[in-house]
Amino acid sequence: MDFRLSEDIQFLKENVRDFVQTEVEAVAMQIEEENEIPERIINMSKELGLFGLSIPEEFGGLGIGMVGKCALYEEIGATHNGYTTLIGAHTGIGTVGIVEMGNEEQKRKYLLAMATGEKIGAFALTEPSAGSNATNLKSTAVKKGDKYILNGTKHYITNATEADVFTVMAVTDPSKGAKGITSFIIEKDFPGFQIGAVEKKMGLRGSHSAEVIMEDCEVPIQNVLGEVGSGYVNALKILANGRAGLAARNLGSCQKLLDLTMSYAKERIQFGVPIIEHQAIAHMIAEMALDIEALRSFTYRVAWMVDEKVNVIKEAAMLKLFGSEVYNRVADKALQVHGGIGYISDFPIERFYRDARITRIYEGTSEIQKNIISGQLIKEYSR
């Protein structure tokens, strides 16, 4: 396994780092207070090509592999997680389905605009009755002539208020269970499609999640993504593909927390010495660094496996589980080392602590990842 980056990726990584540190960090508190990412930051992200991370060059994207993407995601993760989520949801679950399962016509129609950020992507699977149990969808799709008519409600849909293109799962044949679910590409302006209530969240300010409501929504038959009945499998592939990227963004956040904690622990004086000289503090920081290095190695190993076209169902689930648990542990220790100042919203530690919590829930809860891992192990040991 070789995780060395090409000169082009290293150059882009350095540019993204500079952009994050000088531009995004400068408005992090503004994002937190206004719950909005400045248009200037979004436009600069477009110019850097960040909206095209997952899209092949022939469709206007950067055309880089998963190892390269993770190197960039790690830099993006080091700043405000609301901004990180806007980019990550678009380049991950919002785009990957069309890249991997779309036909040539669909790719030409959608990816060129999505690569530039002219059109934002979103992924709509979760419903009030179908969260971890993704096969319990109530949204329906009935074929009528050259269209499908969709009815149902999705919720917790990241980027819903900004998105132009949605990958949506709905039931086409209730008698077939998971094999009766189909994927659709839906544009925000399709008749019968609307955005419902915007959800108020504990964290991820600037990243908006909302309901998606379909009332006799008309979707052209050519907007079926993949084969009819393959929607559940498509959803699993889309989610699995994005888990290395999500772990890399978590890794970036963890490294940022370690940097902030080291700086504070060297400057904060208690009992006559910097607090890093107290064993209790030093041990917490050592544990943070250990977790981060383990996550870094695991992330790039799975990213390499993705690039090598290896089946990573088990490993991706392990990585998603481990990455989110590490982020929460590191955030907790960072806050503990900072003490009272870490709990105050004027400083970034409190924000990272709140933002970390959702990583154990979205894109598959920690408990679901354990189910996937154990299920794959049962298959392996049954051979």
Catalytic residue set = 363
Q: How far apart are CA 318 and CA 307, in angstroms?
A: 18
Residue given tokens 């469709």 in the structure block = 59
Q: Contact 105/179 with Cβ under 8 angstroms?
A: no
Residue given tokens 């530039």 in the structure block = 116
Q: Contact 169/122 with Cβ under 8 angstroms?
A: no
Residue 41 structure tokens: 């930051």
Residue 334 structure tokens: 């960072």
Q: How far apart are CA 175 and CA 172, in angstroms?
A: 9
Q: Contact 141/149 with Cβ under 8 angstroms?
A: yes
Q: Contact 365/324 with Cβ under 8 angstroms?
A: no
Which residue type sits at 182?
Answer: T
Q: How far apart are CA 56 and CA 107, in angstroms?
A: 10
Question: Three-state DSSP class for 214?
Answer: strand
What's the gap between Cα 358 and its chain centre?
Answer: 11
Residue 104 structure tokens: 């040539």
Q: How far apart are CA 83 and CA 87, in angstroms?
A: 7
Q: How far apart are CA 35 and CA 38, in angstroms?
A: 10
Q: What stretches of 308-383 show up as alpha helix (H) in DSSP?
A: 313-338, 348-357, 366-380
Which one, of 324, 283, 333, 312, lies nearest residue 376 by Cα?
312
Which one, of 253, 249, 88, 58, lies nearest residue 158 by Cα?
88
DSSP annotation string for 252-270: HHHHHHHHHHHHHHHH-EE
Residue 267 structure tokens: 């400057």
Bridge partners of 148? 143, 219
Residue given tokens 């919002």 in the structure block = 94
